[in-house]
Amino acid sequence: MVAVGTIIALAACGGSASTGTTSTPTPVADVGSGQLQGAGATFPEPFYTKAFYQYNQDHSSVSVNYQSIGSGGGIKAFQAGTVDFGASDVPMAAADIAAAGGDASLVQVPTILGVESIAYNLQGVDKLKLDGTTLASIYLGTVKTWNDPAIKALNSGVSLPSTAITVVHRSDSSGTSYAFTDYLSKISPDWKTKVGVGKAVQWPAGVGASGNQGVGQQVKTTDGAIGYVELAYVVQSSLQQAYLKNDAGQFLQASEAGATAAAQAAASAISPTSFSITNESGAKSYPISTFSSLKKITANGKPILS
């Protein structure tokens, strides 16, 4: 996961910086005091956990409690006013903002850039190659076994078993699912017309699990399983991850470098209403890359997050 924004100046109730008399030390930043409540995407949770912990170490008067409940859950909690900030991998649309009261002080802040790994569990297959068309067919339920001709054609010389493929997808409303289905819709006309893009879709095949951690655990404990999981969870759980063919014909594993290349390829085209960086051009661009952002409001005249 790549941090492309920093979460600084957490503020609650205010305070005052101390000053010296004879010698003037560097003023301490007035960050206020209190606890902030946030909820949302599981995709950036490993980064937020580390960032909020470090912030509390640097500014002990402020603590941040973040619950990773999925992008959809984060937006709903923010709209309901039960949290100070929400997190989603998909920016809030006009209807979402209206449901939150249409507050003019609402600001959406891109915080991280990350990638979705295609994790799998297949003993004896240490290197697996997939392309978007085959991946879509797996999730459509038309490619059902690991020795299907479509997979064999991409993995010359690899002994693929006849094991049935267990497709694992998110059961909750998820920005991770949005990026995944956005990618498949760009690659596969069948996927685009039959399923489409969304945080929650009607999955044609497979079993559901909640959160990135849930999908990762399901893949890890199920022989023959495949799932889409944010890279940090793959690394933490030592999951196998496939090489995915990108727009330039290169087979890449998910990586920070791949996410950076995809964002650079998109460049100035990115905006709150045009935020997709899946299937970007370039030999180094990883196909399933995405941003994640925070939704903030003001409190007592001060920004909660800035």
**In-domain check, residue 22:** no
Q: What is the pLDDT of residue 295?
A: 65
| Total Cβ atoms within 10 A of residue 207 | 15
Query: Beta partners for 112?
Result: 3, 292
**In-domain check, residue 282:** yes
Strand order in the sheet with 129-130: 129-130, 243-245, 251-252
Query: Beta partners for 277?
Result: none
Q: What is the pLDDT of residue 273?
A: 66
Residues 101 and 159 in one domain: no
List CB contacts of 108: < 8 A, sequence separation 6 or more. Answer: 91, 92, 272, 293, 294, 295, 296
Q: What is the pLDDT of residue 108?
A: 78
Residues 169 and 242 in one domain: yes
Q: What is the pLDDT of residue 92?
A: 78
In the DSSP assignment, the letter for residue 164 is B
Quote the number of domains for the chain: 2
CA 107 distance to own-chain centroid? 19
Query: Beta partners for 302?
Result: 299
Residues 59 and 145 in one domain: no
Q: What is the pLDDT of residue 23?
A: 59
For the chain (306 residues), the mean pLDDT of every run of 10, in chain order, is 37 37 60 86 85 91 89 86 84 78 72 91 97 98 98 97 98 93 97 96 97 96 97 94 98 96 82 80 96 60 40
User: Domain containing 217: what range?
Assistant: 115-290
Q: What is the pLDDT of residue 208?
A: 98
**In-domain check, residue 205:** yes
**In-domain check, residue 121:** yes
Q: What is the pLDDT of residue 104?
A: 62
Q: What is the pLDDT of residue 305?
A: 40
Residues 57 and 196 in one domain: no
Task: Kindly tell me the burial class for residue 112, based on how many C-beta atoms sit within 10 Å of its own C-beta (0-12, 13-18, 19 or more).
Answer: buried
105 near 301, Cβ under 8 Å? no
Residues 76 and 128 in one domain: no
pLDDT tens-digit map of 209-229: 999 999 999 999 999 999 999
State both tokens at 70. Answer: 């999925």
